[in-house]
Structure 1
Amino acid sequence: MSGQPVGPTRSDPPRPDPPRPDLATLTGVRSGKGSYYRAYVRSDERLQQAVRAMDSISRALVRTVQGPRGLLEEVVRAVGTHLAAEWVVLALADGQLPGARPRFLVLHRDGVPVDDERLLPPPVRRELGAVRAGHARHTDDSGWVRVPMSLEGRPIGSLAARHGLAVDPEPSDLSVLRILANQAAVSLHTSEQYQAGVALHRRAQRVYDEAQAQARDLALRTDELRRVEQRLLLAHQREIVDAERHRIARELHDSVTQYVLSAGMQLEVARGELAALGAGAATATVSVATAKQLAAQAVEQLRRAIYALSQSSRDTVSTLPELLADVAEHHRGHLKVQVRVEGDVQGLPADADHEIARAVAEALFNTATHARATRAVVRLRYAPDELRVHVADDGCGDPTTLSRVLRVQRTDTSGRHRGLANIESRVLELGGRIAFRRARLGGVRIELRVPLPIDLPATAGTISGLLDTAASATPRPSVPPVHDHPGSTA
């Protein structure tokens, strides 16, 4: 038997072929239940819908400029798509997050989100009323499904939908709805905080506006009080100055005028005695007659001064332009004077007003007496940082000559010929300077420049000296008058 070949014999049965693999075995989708694959497909579709819902919510989260409404609209749309819902209702319970807006949002399958309850059909209004009342139910027989909106563990409202699914929503669907509801709760809470911040901001703005209005009113009242104080100060100054003017007028009338009159009478007696001496005293007689005439003129000037001093100062004279107008008025009898003011008039200390006015008066007197002028123009110009006063005339003066005369007067200690030096000293005490120019009128222009604001020195001036009743006040040194010598060149 060892030499015979080994192989199948007719008596052996045939072997069966191995089984061929089918598609169901390869994919693993094979079950005794025919609905297994359909369930898998439906679950996958639900998962894809949930992913799309989360994606729409993520896009809505970055739309912060639109406020919470944009996110809430994305939430109700995502719920409507996920559950194929006919109606979706998102609402806060009454008393929860009172500052949040909107309080509810309803979406129809074919419409847009609305927040007007009057536009809803009765079934939806009933569901909305149930959510507002705080009823916590998840499903019912009418096809509504609801999940609560929670914030820090407490319910603040609900997200409800009337789904259009063939079967009831699964637990995964409810999980998606809870995620969406909580996102809406956080957004509404943020909305309330934002509204509270806006309300606080408006309240703060309102308080700030009221404070600003009160500050403006206080500033106006302060300005009014300052003006009243200035008027009272000027009235007090005028009262004191008027009293001093009347006292000086009485002194001139009772003493100086009487002495001058007596001198004139004695000159008349001397003239009669000289006339009796004959031709030898003719020259002396002429001199005495001239002296008598000068005495008569002096009496007339004294009477005018007494009359002027007896008149009370006008209540309207309170600013430098008005003081200059008053000075010009006194010179209009022998000189045509114009006063021009440029710029916004600024209040100056009383001493500064009067010192500048007296300096202009000195300049006008020199113009009328020594320059043989017929016309003068006083120009007052207010600049932000400087006060300029120009006194121009049409006389025969020369700027170079006036500058030389001023240099001489600075060193003159005799008390005479100090008109220009007195003008300069007044301006220097105010921190200013003086200059001489050729005027367009043909004569001389005296320029006074004083920096603003004016810082008066500690030494009391004319007006402040009158007002100062303290025993320690330092009196202002007397200044010789500018027009005490008819031969002065100014």
Structure 2
Amino acid sequence: MDHELDSSYLDALTGVRSGKHSFYPEYVRSAERLERAVGALDRISRALVRTGEGPRALVEAVVRAAAEHVQAEWLLFAVADGALRAARPRFLLLAGETLIDDERLFPIEAREHLRVLRSRPWEADEPTPGVVRVSMTLDSEPVGGIAARPAPGMDAATDLAVLRVLANQAAVALHNSFLVHATMQLRGRTEQLSEAAEQQARDLAARNAELQETQRRLIEAMQRQALDDERHRIARELHDSVTQDVLSAGMMIEICRSELAAPGADPDVVSGKLTEAKGLTQHAVERLRAAIYALHHADSEPSGTLPVLLERLSTVHLPTELKVSVDVAGEPVALPGEAEHSLLRITGEALFNTVMHTNAARALIRLVYRGDHIRLSISDDGDGDPAQLRKMLRLSSATDLAGAHRGLANMRTRVEELGGTLSIRRARLGGIMLVLEVPLPLKEMRAAG
């Protein structure tokens, strides 16, 4: 490496070539040179340990150590243009006790040496009367040098060797100092970036938590809305049917009163009509009970999965003559809120049709999760005719139907929006079974009105 002293440098530093007593005067001079060289090397080592204080402190220490060694009137340290690009300062002059880094303030003599060291460091060792110059090398490449006007009586060989050692070691130390400070800056920047990344991660986690909470509330709201829509629809339709039952019962009672007032009224006929009126009023009471239940539980229920929502939906249709049960098979999967809404509306429509248009006592909702699709069926034990419903469903595509058959058309539309199919068949319970098959995964969709 450049900082290692070769044998020629050692010879120049010590000057000892013989140990014979006849050479004692030379020995004394060599000892003095050796002591001076040791002192110089000590100053060099003390200068070079300033690496950690930064490039500026290192250059100043090198300049002072070199100037002290040769008792220089002035001493110039310079880095060649294009070399050690990050080194700062690029040059420094010590004149007396003053450090100068402004070229305009340099003595004229020093300016020429600065030009040589910055542009042609490989010529730095060329002798100049009264001035010494040495190259500064790093990895065997010249990167600058030192020029000085030493005090008279300088030992050229020894002092030049010391300057060369100092210059070469200064190049290494200057490069290392830059690396140390660059590393410290990078470490500081890394710590800042790490702290910023951690803060960003915390912010993202907080925002994600807020987003999840918002999404949870939206899903709850959509689920409640689905149940509320079904309850309100049932309440409106029950209102119409209850009104019809009450009016029919009232008319029947008025007829009975008229017949009782007429001479020769048949009590058995009047009794039969009163029994029919009683049935109408009882039927109206049961419908009202279901409507009141639906409206009463509109806001108090928490959200849940589709199976849970189906369980709750089944309780909306609770007139005394219909018992609804729910059966779930397979591993439940999360569905988009709009899809759950549609499935709930379809199920509610089917149950309401069962209540209003059949004499069913039992209904079964069965939800089956499979790998690539879900299967939802609603069956009953009523007296409905699957063939007649299929016929009416086919006609609904070309004709504007009303009532239960319009409801069937709405259900089919919702299923098709989910990418699935709707079929009508005979249930094992004996009545109607509606079967929905919808592929998985379900895409986001706009809920049907």
TM-score by length of 1: 0.46
Higher helix share: 2
Question: Rg larger in 1 or in 2?
Answer: 1
